[in-house]
Amino acid sequence: MFEKRWVADPANIIRGSDPQSVIAETEAALLRARNIDAADVNAFFAPSTLPPVPEDPSLESAAELILDAVSDGVRITVFGDYDCDGICAAAILYHFLVNYLEADADYLIPDRFGEGYGITPDAVDRICEQGTGMIITVDNGITAFEAAARAQELGITMIITDHHLSTGALPEAAVVVDPHLEESFFPFRDECGAGVAFTLIRRIAEEIGIEREELTGYLMCTAVATVGDSVPLTGNNRVYVRLGLDAMRRLKLSRRPPAFRTGGQARYDGTQGASEGRRADQTYAYGENGIDGMEESGPAFSNGIKALLEASGIYADTSLTSTDIAFKVVPKINAAGRLGSAEKAITLLLAETPFDAEEAAAQLIRDNNVRKNIEQEIYNDALTGEKMLTGENDRIVVCAGEDWHQGVLGIVASRLAEKFNRPAIVLTLSEDGEDPVYKGSGRSVEPIDIHSALSECSEYLERFGGHVRAAGISIRRSKLRPFIDAVNAYLKTLDEAQSVFAPEYVADAVIPGAMVDLDFADMINAFEPFGEGNRAPLIALTGLTLSGCSRFGGDNAHLRIVFTGTRPDGVSVRLEGVMFRAGNLFETVSHLRRVSVLCTPRRDSLHPDQLMLHITDLHDFDLDIEKTLTYMYNNPYITFESFAIDAAFLRVVYKGITKLPESFSFNDLIALKVKLCAAGNSCSWYRLRCCVDIFTELGLLKRLSKTGFSLDTGVTKVELESSAKYRALRIEAES
């Protein structure tokens, strides 16, 4: 809070006289922002059919090889990954092979810590020992050169299906299916690993005459993976998630659906390993009713997905959204792999009875609670001086610990990227020695492509991989600082990187808060599913008074806030909102009065007849009464007076600071803010914090502690333009 300015398109400042006109104007603004014209509106809001299966040669070859292998009785091993996408992809392909093709199939999910990401020559050897003749990778394999070579030596047919970026050359597999390949005929290239697996089984289904309706369960699983892997929710991905959510909502028709019958029982020989899932030394026998009984038993994965929804406090009704999947379902699937073995997650998806599914869901929830505690400890530790390897002038955040849990580093990196509005990499010691190796995960922010940045600086890395927003790396301790310097140099060459020093929220619309109602929330919900490439709209609400604030959740981690406002006709309105992970701001928020709220209005998931504001940020000024709108350099948007930084305001604040004691505290700044506001200055917390940061960067102030500062009276003259933060925040003209 108070860390990012709000900007908006001037055309999207809406002052409708009644709620319905505000809804219509806001909807039009959201459609414009997404470049959706009148001809595409119906398809955007209600996609009803799956896109055609691509006429891609690699897809055709993979389908043909699989059907031939099944016909010849060849054992097939599906090799997945330990994250949500890889788990769902493995479940989709394995389930289809067994239940529709009656294949002799098994799956293997590597252990995150014992084996690491991707298929290796050792894994190929183990699979070969169990009699496998074909390996199909899902969500991995595009850089598995050694594993592919080993499979070739052993006479195993390898099919690679992946969605990650290649390094140029391709492994010598029988077929490589990846939408990102230059030679790919996939018209949509941003499917996740499960999306590619779903496309593959759709191609096989067409070949053997299976109707689309019979693939509903696979669509649900694909939707979960698509949301979980943060791929753009546009094109095919939007259709998958939209239709998948619709299918999940229909699960409510049967509160406890019958088990999905396979027509027989799996035979286990007791060798199932914690890190490998169902290994290749397990055999399966399926009766002749394995396919005929499907429609009577409900879609594939019904038991597992329904159990996980309900265990997450979600009842699959009309309020189910992609946000619920992203924040309540996906973390639980990921938790198993993050803590070691993904077996519990895939067991849930493949559960044959409701009881088995409920037991597996309960275990995932326990794992997720453990994961959250570990994550918070590492996040707090990462912010300490000795673990933070970068500073304010670096364009990347890099933290390193000695014994951090590898399974949650990506989540911590994501939180740090959000906090500092720049790419973040979190590392932990992987191999000790004279020059130790650190291994970790990176996450990026728009519009910076972290994979491209790593590619440009790859000479300093032992290993890396990933995509635009997420990556994994290994690096030696001696290369850390040179690597950071190289990334800084690379990002400075990008115009986009200027945004690193000007963190901001783009408000999709600015409207009177008293105009928001359930109809407005329903209009917002129509733009679902939300995610990468189609983020949830952020609406700036003005003219509100904060009338109540309380903490809730474990350790009082979250805030529940009540606002009041008045419509033009004099009707008083009460609004309630939640602000997650803001419990530590209770004292500050409690004292606010006239405010603006940046939020996404939604129906309450537990009480759908009630409105709930999902609050992203609060501002301690009412934008509705501000008279000055400010244009900024190199930015098509405007901001408001209480977010603008210019030389005149900096002089006013500096003059006020010179009247404070030479060493002063945060409380002195509070008093200064009150004094400046009383004198008619729009001294918001945002503006005051920016001024302090700029003065510190210029050497006018020194930070003595987290809340203590001192004025350097020896500095008599500075050039504002020498401050990178000032250059990024400066204004161009006023309207």
The CATH code of the domain that includes 698 is 1.10.10
Show the domain range for 330.
57-365
Using 50, 70 and 90 to split pLDDT, how confident is the model at 317? low
pLDDT of residue 316: 53
Identity at 157, one-letter amino acid code? T
Same domain, 346 and 486: no
Selection from 206, 211, 239, 210 nearest residue 223 by Cα: 239
| pTM of the entire predicted model | 0.79
Question: Is the separation of the CB atoms in 139 and 89 below 8 Å?
Answer: yes
Instruction: Clarify whether residues 326 and 419 are in a common domain.
Output: no
Angle at 535 between CA 533 and CA 536, to 5 degrees: 160
Residue 506 structure tokens: 């783009």
- Point out the least confidently predicted range of 68-72, 269-273, 393-397, 682-686: 269-273
- Contact (Cβ atoms closer than 8 angstroms) between residue 681 and residue 688: no
Is it the case that residue 239 has pLDDT exceeding 90? Answer: yes
Find out whether 511 and 303 touch, Cβ atoms under 8 Å: no
Q: Is residue 630 part of a domain?
A: no
Is 636 within the bounds of a domain?
A: no
Range from 49-63, 242-256, 323-337 carrying the lowest mean pLDDT:
242-256
186, amino acid identity: F
User: 524 and 409 in one domain?
Assistant: no
Place of tokens 């783009």: 506
Say whether pLDDT at 96 is over 50: yes
Domain identity same for 698 and 650: yes
Measure the CA–CA gap between 381 and 387, rounded to whole angstroms: 7
Return mean pLDDT, the chain.
86
Closest of 481, 480, 478, 468 to residue 440, by C-alpha: 480
pLDDT for the residue 714: 79
Give the domain CATH number at 620: 2.40.50.460
If asked whether residues 310 and 403 sit together in one domain, one would say: no
Helix or strand or coil: residue 477? Answer: helix
Residue 226: band (very low, low, confident or very high) from pLDDT cuts 50, 70, 90: very high
Q: What is the DSSP letter of 192?
A: -
> Which residue among 337, 365, 393 closes a domain?
365
Average pLDDT over residues 513-520: 95
CATH number at residue 248: 3.90.1640.30
Does residue 657 share a domain with residue 527? no
Token pair belonging to 559: 């805030």
171 and 299 inside one domain = yes
Tell me whether residue 371 is in a domain: no
In this structure, the answer to whether residues 226 and 300 fall within a common structural domain is yes
pLDDT band for position 298 (cuts 50, 70, 90) = confident
Domain boundary among 492, 526, 557: 492
Q: How far apart, in whole angstroms, are the C-alpha atoms of residue 174 and residue 58?
A: 10
**Spatial distance between the Cα atoms of 224 and 246, rounded to a whole number of angstroms:** 12
Q: How many domains does the chain have?
A: 4
CA distance between the termini of the chain: 27
Q: Are residues 411 and 436 in the same domain?
A: yes
Q: Which of 492, 516, 531 is the last residue of a domain?
A: 492
Comparing CA positions, the residue from 619, 662, 92, 6 lying closest to residue 350 is 92
> 691 and 729: one domain?
yes
Mean pLDDT value across residues 125-148: 94
Query: How many percent of the chain have pLDDT more than 90?
Result: 56
pLDDT, tens digit, 9 for 90 and up, residues 567-622: 988 899 999 999 998 888 898 899 899 999 999 999 887 788 899 999 999 999 99
The pLDDT tens digits of the residues spanning 256-269 come to 433 333 333 332 23
